[in-house]
Amino acid sequence: MIQSKLFSRTSKNISKEEISLNARLLIKGGFVDKLAAGVYSLLPLGWRVVKKIENIIREEMEMLGGQELFLPTVHPKKNWEATGRWSSMGEDLYKIEAEKGANFVLGPTHEEVLVPLAKKFVSSYKDLPLYVYQFQNKFRREKRVKSGVLRTREFLMKDLYSFHADQKDLDDYYEKVKKSYGRIFQRCGIGEKTYLTYASGGTFSKYSHEFQTLTPAGEDLIYICEKCGTAVNKEILADQDNQCPQCGSKKLREEKAVEVGNIFKLGTKFSQPFGLFYSKENGEKQLAVMGCYGIGLQRLMGAIAEVENDERGLTWPTAVAPFQVHLLELDPRDPQNRKSARQIYGILQAKGIEVLWDDRAGKLAGEKFADCDLIGIPYRLVISKKTLQSGKYELKERKAANGKLVSLEELPEIILKGRG
């Protein structure tokens, strides 16, 4: 992409009232725009990051046998009454009167739509197990929205739901999803800082699990076992008498964290109210057993931003970066420079490398370097009179102090290797 044509621009000065680090970094870099408290637009750069995250998640969901679908945002009141959540979640719901006397909910989650839908297709044990997922906007009346994109009133969630004939089948699948989630956060570059965390399991199962990323911006407190590295949330800590449920150790250290994903055994909580029965081999009717598994996309982007930055701006992990290379053309008015920049832009793109080309005239070199650091693309490639004279180009990793001069021939290979 050509930067002079980019829809968004970086901004150095943003309101002091914006206290969230992820929001400050993402707004300065031109990734998001704040429309209102807890309501953000994703600009082209931010949307590219979210799409990268989405694709990683999608690959993992497909490996789990998930089938992607897309459910409505507007849910009839009667579905939410059927589960009792019209009133039990009343405070958190955006209720709308679509027409006089017709009440709806803007979906904060999708069991109320998916379970009656599954009922239309599931009748026999032969129809199970089933796994479906979507990337969908969720709406929640969050009260405190001071954490930038970590907690918003409207956000994209990947929600996967599994339907099983029995508990054993759910238990096995749950373990697979747990591993898959570990890979997702690893691939998104925050594996080291993300902890599998025991959380309350509701009525059906003793535990559920959260994936918690360590950051001072997190609103949760987790307790990490010094011995085995698993964590528990506050609720479990109290129930467990300050003991690790995994290994029994009592050496736990408190950390602030944000929940980037969670997995939950629902059991028959939702198949019951909607009567999602299937017939067993012997003809007996039984309720399907369910699991649900969520990840918030903007929250994940925000968690990455909280973890991956320095005093100059963002430092995106390669797999989720909006581009792999930021090509800085320092003397755009020089025909030699322009020619060279255009050539490199073409070569890299032909190799499947995504390039943001700073072709802007009338910007000082210092401004281009500062913007480049703010945006945080993994590689910076500089073309200037100086580099042209040497016949080489200066390539610098965002996180490295110094760059090195590389020839045109070796350039694509180095960058592709860095991409892994």
8 A C-beta contact, residue 257 and residue 211: no
Q: Give the interface size with ligand ATP as a residue count (CB under 6 A).
A: 16
Residue nearest to ligand ATP (CB): 296
Q: Does 110 bind ligand ATP (CB under 6 A)?
A: no
Member of 29, 294, 322, 332 binding ligand ATP (CB under 6 A):
294
Give min distance, CB of 225 to ligand ATP, in A.
21
Q: Which stretch binds ligand ATP (CB under 6 A): 93-101, 175-183, 227-235, 290-298?
A: 290-298
Q: Judged by CB, which is closer to ligand ATP: 194, or 298?
A: 298
Least Cβ distance, residue 280 to ligand ATP (angstroms)? 31
Residues paired with 259 in a beta bridge: 212
Using the rule CB under 6 A, which residue among 28, 48, 75, 140 binds ligand ATP?
140
The stretch near ligand ATP (CB under 6 A) out of 258-266, 331-339, 343-351, 372-380 is 258-266
Judged by CB, which is closer to ligand ATP: 273, or 294? Answer: 294
Residue 129 in the binding site for ligand ATP (CB under 6 A): no
- Part in contact with ligand ATP (CB under 6 A); list of ranges 148-156, 175-183, 229-237, 394-402: 148-156
Q: What share of the chain is helix, strand, coil (3-state, %, to 5)?
A: 35, 30, 35
User: Does the protein bind ligand ATP through residue 296 (CB under 6 A)?
Assistant: yes
Helices 411-419 and 335-350 cross at an angle (nearest 10°) of 50
* Distance in angstroms (rounded) separating the CA atoms of residues 151 and 255: 19
Q: Is 224 in the site for ligand ATP (CB under 6 A)?
A: no
Q: In whole angstroms, how close is the CB of 263 to ligand ATP at the nearest point?
A: 9
Identity of the residue, 270 or 323, whose beta carbon is nearer to ligand ATP in the bound complex: 270
Q: How far is the CB of 260 from ligand ATP (least distance, A)?
A: 5
Q: Does 261 bind ligand ATP (CB under 6 A)?
A: yes
Residues in contact with 366: Cβ distance below 8 Å, sequence separation at least 6, in sequence order: none
Q: What's the rounded Cα separation, in Å, for the pair 136 and 156?
A: 5
Nearest to 187 by CA among 353, 56, 379, 322: 56
- DSSP assignment string, 107-147: -SSSHHHHHHHHHTT--BGGG--EEEEEEEEEE---S---S
d(CA 107, CA 365): 48
User: DSSP class of residue 239?
Assistant: H
Question: Is 265 near ligand ATP (CB under 6 A)?
Answer: no
Q: How far is the CB of 121 from ligand ATP (least distance, A)?
A: 25
Which one, 189 or 261, has the nearer CB to ligand ATP? 261
d(CA 3, CA 356): 6
Is 274 a binder of ligand ATP (CB under 6 A)? no
Tokens of 373: 């650091």
Q: Binding string, 42-71, against ligand ATP, x = CB under 6 A?
A: ------------------------------
CB 150 within 8 A of CB 258: yes
Report, in Å, the least distance between residue 247 CB and ligand ATP. 25
CB of 212 to ligand ATP, least distance (A): 9
Instruction: Select 298 or 324, whichever has its Cβ closest to ligand ATP.
Output: 298
Report which residue type is found at 169. D
The answer to whether 319 and 188 have CB atoms below 8 angstroms apart is: yes
Interatomic CA distance for residues 86 and 75, integer angstroms: 11
- Smallest gap from residue 252 Cβ to ligand ATP (A): 20
For residues 107 and 72, give the distance between their C-alpha atoms in angstroms, rounded to a whole number.
Answer: 8
Told to check if 133 binds ligand ATP by CB under 6 A, we report: no
| Residues 149-188, interacting with ligand ATP (CB under 6 A) | 151-152, 155, 157
Write each residue from 344 to 383 as x if it is in contact with ligand ATP (CB under 6 A), else as -, in one continuous string.
Answer: ----------------------------------------
106 closest CA partner among 73, 72, 143, 155: 73
**221-225 contact pairs (CB < 8 A, 24+):** 221/254, 221/255, 221/256, 221/257, 222/195, 222/197, 222/254, 222/255, 222/257, 223/252, 223/253, 223/254, 223/255, 224/195, 224/252, 224/253, 224/255, 225/249, 225/251, 225/252
Q: At closest approach, how far in Å is the CB of 149 from ligand ATP? A: 7
Q: Is 262 in the site for ligand ATP (CB under 6 A)?
A: yes
- Binding region for ligand ATP (CB under 6 A): 109, 140, 142, 151-152, 155, 157, 259-262, 294-296, 298-299
